């Protein structure tokens, strides 16, 4: 089936064709028709499957068709609740692009920026609002945001909302929106908590689950190399120099560690930028924009960028540190190999992270390929580093003493 076959507004079809949307993905195929029919939907689909368009296309169409009916109302008609500012901006951008040839007004609302312009935009009328809970409730309490006319409520990345402590915010928003509405519930993972939350907000939903046996997308080749913690910077340097044109997202465990890795790359003349929650919001957006445009090819980030962030043409994900939560491995890897494109995920695993690796393999149900490396190959990567802060010669001498070999470097 093609998008041209759907009973949606010709203005939307025109833009879908312009954007290169030809055929729906599995989640889009299974979700769009029930949404257009007015059904509540509970959908579970892994990252990179096209979830955003699955709810954006039909909600734009329904609001576009009802514009004349609700012309006198300036209240929001569709409220999309998301857990992070980056997601709010990104999803609002998708809505804006898809609604380009319609009269539907879309807007992204989030904290970290001044309220005045946001309030002015809302006063001019917004049909579809993509919002984070904090700023949304701030403006509702000030009387600057009216959600009493909402016809469609979308909860996206619901599992991450729970992880970030937004369960109460989700139930609280139900006090402000009409009881008679369509509710669309999207999550990347399913659990007892997710099910309980879903059935609190949806009514007799159409249930959709797109979940292959291995949650890591088939478009991603993933592998492990055993690297001790203090040596990881040399292996990242090696990858960056081996593949200078590739766009890489490098995941680390903490904000402090992100800064240290950026500094380590700077010492060896490799440009990179850090992205984490401790950076000012406008700066975070600017960093992501530079990475999207290819002005910077290496992004060193915490798990703030693991969920939902859609960055085109990421060639490789490098797990510099293995994640503490095995599901975050899947979300991280999902930054590459999106849609039908191929991607690579390489993880550096230290001896102290073997238990985390075991948890990841149990979660995915698959053994990750190991890149077998002998001692001399390992040491050559350390030796070839341009970082003069490490005594690689002493390390090589020590290794040679252990196996009785000569220093052949």
d(CA 352, CA 128): 47
Of the candidate CATH numbers 4.10.80.40, 3.30.70.1400, 3.40.50.300, 3.40.30.10, the domain formed by 3-210 belongs to 3.40.50.300
Domain 220-372 has CATH 3.40.50.300: yes
pLDDT at 267: 93
Listed in sequence order, the residues at least 6 apart from 131 whose beta carbon sits closer than 8 Å to its beta carbon are: 79, 80, 81, 82, 88, 108, 109, 110
pLDDT at 198: 87
d(CA 152, CA 63): 9
pLDDT, one tens digit per residue, over 79-132 is: 999 998 888 999 999 999 999 999 999 999 999 888 999 999 999 999 999 999
Most confident stretch, 226-230, 308-312, 360-364? 226-230
| Mutual angle of helices 326-333 and 354-364, in 10-degree steps | 70
- In this prediction, residues 355-371 reach a mean pLDDT of 90
- In this prediction, residues 57-72 reach a mean pLDDT of 83
- In this prediction, residues 274-302 reach a mean pLDDT of 90
Range(s) for CATH 3.40.50.300 in the chain? Answer: 3-210, 220-372
pLDDT at 399: 52
pLDDT at 190: 80
What are 13-19's contacts with CB under 8 Å, separation 24+? Answer: 14/101, 15/97, 15/98, 15/99, 15/100, 15/101, 16/57, 16/98, 19/97, 19/98
Rounded to two decimals, the pTM is 0.70
| Among 286, 288, 325, 322, residue whose Cα is nearest residue 305 | 288
d(CA 399, CA 396): 5
d(CA 309, CA 93): 12
* pLDDT beyond 90 at 205: yes
Share of the chain above pLDDT 70, in %: 90
pLDDT band at 277 (very low <50, low <70, confident <90, very high): confident
pLDDT, one tens digit per residue, over 120-172 is: 999 999 999 999 999 999 999 999 999 999 999 999 988 888 877 888 898 89
Residue 329: Cβ-neighbour burial (10 angstroms; 0-12, 13-18, 19+) = buried
Q: Give the mean pLDDT of the chain.
A: 88
């Amino acid at each position: 089936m093609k998008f041209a076959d759907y009973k949606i507004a010709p203005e939307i079809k025109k833009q879908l064709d312009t954007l290169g949307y030809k055929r729906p993905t599995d989640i889009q195929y299974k979700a769009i028709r029930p949404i257009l029919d007015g059904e509540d939907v509970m959908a579970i689909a892994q990252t990179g499957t096209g979830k955003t368009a699955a709810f954006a296309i039909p909600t734009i169409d329904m609001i576009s068709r009802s514009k004349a009916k609700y012309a006198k109302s300036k209240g929001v008609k569709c409220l999309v609740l998301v857990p992070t500012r980056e997601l709010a901006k990104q999803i609002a951008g998708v809505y804006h692009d898809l609604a380009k040839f319609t009269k539907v007004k879309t807007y992204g609302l989030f904290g970290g920026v001044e309220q005045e312009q946001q309030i002015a935009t809302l006063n001019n009328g917004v049909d579809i609002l993509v919002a984070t809970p904090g700023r949304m409730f701030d403006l509702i309490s000030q009387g600057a945001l009216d959600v009493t006319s909402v016809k469609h409520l979308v909860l996206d990345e619901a599992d991450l909302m729970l992880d970030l402590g937004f369960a109460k915010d989700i139930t609280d928003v139900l006090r402000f929106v009409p009881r008679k509405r369509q509710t669309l519930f999207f999550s990347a993972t399913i659990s007892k908590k997710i099910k309980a939350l879903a059935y609190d907000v949806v009514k007799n939903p159409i249930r959709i689950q797109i979940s292959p046996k291995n949650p890591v997308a088939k478009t991603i080749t993933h592998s492990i190399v055993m690297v001790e913690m203090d040596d990881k910077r040399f292996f990242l340097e090696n990858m960056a120099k081996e593949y200078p044109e590739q766009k890489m997202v490098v995941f680390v465990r903490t904000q402090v560690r992100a800064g240290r890795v950026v500094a380590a790359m700077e010492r060896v003349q490799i440009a990179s930028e850090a992205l984490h929650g401790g950076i000012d919001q406008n700066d975070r957006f600017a960093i992501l924009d530079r990475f999207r445009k290819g002005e910077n090819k290496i992004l060193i980030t915490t798990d703030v960028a693991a969920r939902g962030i859609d960055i085109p043409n990421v060639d490789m994900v490098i797990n510099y540190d293995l994640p503490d939560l095995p599901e975050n491995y899947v979300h991280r890897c999902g930054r590459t190999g999106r849609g039908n494109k191929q991607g690579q995920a390489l993880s550096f695993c230290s001896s102290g992270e073997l238990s985390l690796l075991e948890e990841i393999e149990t979660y995915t149900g698959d053994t990750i390929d190991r890149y077998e490396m002998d001692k001399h190959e390992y040491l050559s990567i350390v030796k070839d580093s341009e970082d003069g802060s490490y005594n690689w010669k002493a390390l090589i001498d020590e290794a040679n003493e252990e196996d009785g070999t000569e220093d052949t470097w």
